[in-house]
Every structure is written in structure tokens, then in C-alpha cells.
Structure 1
Amino acid sequence: MESKQILEDTFKFHGHICWASAVGTRAGLAALRELGVQRTGTSGQLHCIVEIGDNHGAQCFADGVQYSTGCTLGKGNIEKAGWGKLAITLIDKTKERAVRISYKPGRHKMVAESSFMKKRGAGIPPDQIPPEEAWEMVNMLWEAPESEVLTVGKVEPYPYEDFGEVMGLMPCSACGEMVSKMYLRVVGDKHMCIPCSGYGQ
């Protein structure tokens, strides 16, 4: 089993202890292992597709994936599929191959019946539940055999076309705020940010 230090650091990054970010961490670590790669520090090495959606209680999964893989919103090497599923496809861009990892339902009934989840269901915020109750729930998934928590797919070829980064910022002619050049819109003879331009995107 991976060091719990990774998990503790994930929770610091995420902001509270929860089962979904723990599963995301395990999924990310498993994907790194299967591809034989290390956590990335740049956008040129790995790309991750995380299948969560919006407004559901397991979106915390994505923070575990971000912390464990190094694929982050800021680096632009993670994207959301929007399917409401706890699964990822991690792509090794340099070798053009990928692996898909998904959360298994096997232990989820235990998680749902934990005192932590009962309190969450009653509307208590996660950071107001005693840490020992949160860890009891997390350990159901973190200490379990991987085969009971995750479905690990085969490493498959994955052609990847990377268009690279567009460098450079310019001030919007209307509001004066700095905007990435690729997001400027032309209005008459002026270059404006999207909100000032009136364009939808």
C-alpha cells in the first residue's frame, strides 16, 4: 500500500478528509504505476481525463487525482468529461498510451453506512465531523486490496495531438485587465477580453 503521507498531503490540498478524494488518490497512483511514469510537474508529460460531472457529492475525487498525478487545472493538463463517474483516463503524451481506472462499487455500501456519511447526509459539513470518524471511513477504501476498490484497465495506445501553449498577455482595450492573447476578441479596431467584447466566448 502507498504511504499514508501521500493521502494526508492530499487531504491538506483538498481541505478536508473524505472518501472520494482518497479514491481519487488511489486511482491516480494506480494509473502512474501502470504507465510506469512519475507524478508530472509540467503540462507536456501527462494528460488526464476525469469523468466526474457537476453538483454531485463525489467531485472530491478530482482533487485526489490532481494531487497524486500532478495533472492540474492550472497546468491545463486535466479535463472533465462531465459523466458523473469516478473514473480517469491517464495519458502518457510522450509515449502515446493511456490507462483507464474506475471506482468499483464493492465497498461503497460500507462507506455509505459509515457514521461519517450518515452525518454528511444529515447536512453536517465534512470539516465539522470528528477526524477519527472520517479516517475510519477512508480506511475502508485506502487499506482494502486494490482489486476491491478499483478496476484497472489495460494500457492501450492513445494517439495524442498537442497544440502547445499560446504565450503572451495583453491588456483589454476596455477594462485594462491582462488577457491571454488567444482569448482576446476584435471589436472594431480594439482588442477586448470576452466579457467586455460582448461575445459569448
Structure 2
Amino acid sequence: MNITSEAKVITDFELLLQESARIHGHLCPGQVLGVKMSILGLREIGIADPKGKDRKSIVVFVETDRCATDAVQSVTGCSLGKRSMKFMDYGKMAASFVNIKTGKAVRVIAKEESRQIAKEYFPEIQNKYEAQLEAYKIMSDSDLFDVMEVQVKLNPEDMPGRPLQRIKCDSCGEHVQDFREIYREGRILCRPCADTGYYEHPKRNIF
């Protein structure tokens, strides 16, 4: 990387971090990790303009519902509403970036040991989160992340675009999109009616 391109990357990082912090509401270590994770992931799958000409070529799987995910959304332009972001509730500081045109996919995982390394960069900062915030900005990708090539299967019903199907639940009468229904004993059921949903309704009658 020459001096000019390196300066551009640094400038882009600062701008992306500012925008991410604006959307998230504050600047924190998770924002720095999420921005750097996204830059790395996009580069690895060959996406140069995720909010422009490449916006229909990317899907991201995020594995945590914490700060870094807001940064990933800010940098990539992917979102749940666009169906270009998929939330996998694994509780891990990781994300997979998929180029749906080429099939190239990588999973980027934040290293746990980077927390300790951050303290060594700024030992004079007593607050560990402030130390992480400043250290993560200048730490190398190899110190911050592990990267693995992965294969991600995307079914037609998981792709961005209009719903492929809408079908009525035989129990609650609500409609289910994109083949998320469950067939049980000859009945069509939504997932909350078939199993245990995140909410309870005292009048719900499955059978």
C-alpha cells in the first residue's frame, strides 16, 4: 500500500467512525471494532462500494445485538429491513460478509485477547474502556481479528426482494411470509403458535 492509498484508508476510517458514532449515539470500543471489522470484511469479499454500485451484492450475518452491529450496519448499508442483514443470536462479536454475486464469504471474529493488548498500548489510561477505544483505533487487523473463509447458503426466501409467499396461520389468523410457517398435523401454523414465542397471549388456542 502506498502513502496516498494508506492516507485515504485512514481518512475513510475516521469518517466512517464518525458516521457510525452519530447513528449509534456515542463513540465506544464496539463502534471502533464494528467499523474496522466491516472494512476488513468488505475488502476480503471484494466489495468496494457497499452503499452504491455494490449495494445489491452484499449480505451480512451479525452474531451479536450489541454496539458493533450498529457500526456494521452504518458501514455496509445492510439492514434487517432491506433483508441484507441477518441477525444470528449467538452472543459472539463476529460477523460474516457475503458477496452474493461471487459467493465469496468470510467470517470476521474479534479476538478476546485484543482486550488485554489494548491495555499495553495505553497503560496510563485507567479506564479500560477508554484504553480500548483509543487502542482499537490504531491496532492492526491481525491483532484485532481472526478471519476465516466460510460457505454461506442463502435460500431464495432469504434473499432481499419482495416476499415470495404469504400464508395464513390456522390458529391465530395472522399471515406468515417467506416460508416461515410450520406444518403440523395437517395444519399451517406460525412459529409462535407451533412452539413458544417470545410473547404470551392468554386467549391463544392452538388446537
For 1:28, give the aligned amino acid. S
Q: CA deviation at 1:26?
A: 0.7
1:129-181 CA distance string (max 9 Å, x none) = xxxxx5x5422101111111111223x5544333353369xxxxxxxxxxxx8
1:50 and 2:44 aligned: no
1:71-123 deviations in Å (ceiling 9; x for gaps):
112212111221111011111111112011110123313668965557xxxxx
Q: 1:151 aligns with which of 136, 146, 153?
A: 146
1:123 paired residue number: none
Pick the aligned partner of 2:71 from 53, 64, 67: 64
Which amino acid in the other structure matches residue 11 of structure 1? Answer: A
Distance 2:84 2:167 in 1: 18
Query: SS at the partner of 2:156?
Result: coil
User: 3-state SS of the aligned residue for 2:107?
Assistant: strand
One-letter identity of the residue aligned with 2:87:
K
Letter of the aligned partner of 1:89 in structure 2? S
Residue 39 (structure 1) aligns with: 50
Q: Secondary structure at the match of 2:30?
A: helix
Match status 1:102 vs 2:93: no
Gap regions ≥5 residues in structure 2? 1-8, 177-189, 194-207
Give the TM-score normalised by the residue count of structure 2.
0.64
Aligned residue in 1 for 2:10: 2
CA contact (8 A) 1:10 1:25 kept: yes
C-alpha distance 183-99 of structure 1, shift in aligned 2 (>3 A): same
1:157 and 1:193 map into 2 onto residues whose CA distance is 32
2:46 touches 2:99 (CA, 8 Å); kept in 1? no
Q: Name the structure 1 match of 2:87.
A: 80
State the SS of the aligned residue for 2:59: strand
Between the two structures, name the one with larger relative contact order (CA 8 Å, sep ≥ 6): 1
Matches of 1:5 and 1:72, distance apart in 2: 20
Distance 1:7 1:96, change over 3 A: same
Aligned residues: 162
1:162 aligns with 2:156: yes
Name segments (4+ residues, structure 1) moved above 6 Å.
Answer: none
Letter matched to residue 166 of structure 2:
M
Match of 2:32 in 1: 22
Structure 1 gap ranges (5+):
119-133, 169-180
From 161, 174, 182, give the equivalent of 2:166.
182
Report the 3-state secondary structure (helix = DSSP H, G, I; strand = E; otherwise coil) of the residue aligned with 2:69: helix
Q: CA RMSD in A?
A: 3.3
Q: Over residues 7-64 of structure 1, what are the superposed CA-to-partner deviations in whole Å (9 max), with x where a residue is unaligned?
A: 0111001111110121011111100111111314587421111111x6xxxx111011
Look up the equivalent residue of 1:39 and give its one-letter code.
Answer: P
Q: 1:110 to 1:97 in 2, by over 3 A?
A: closer
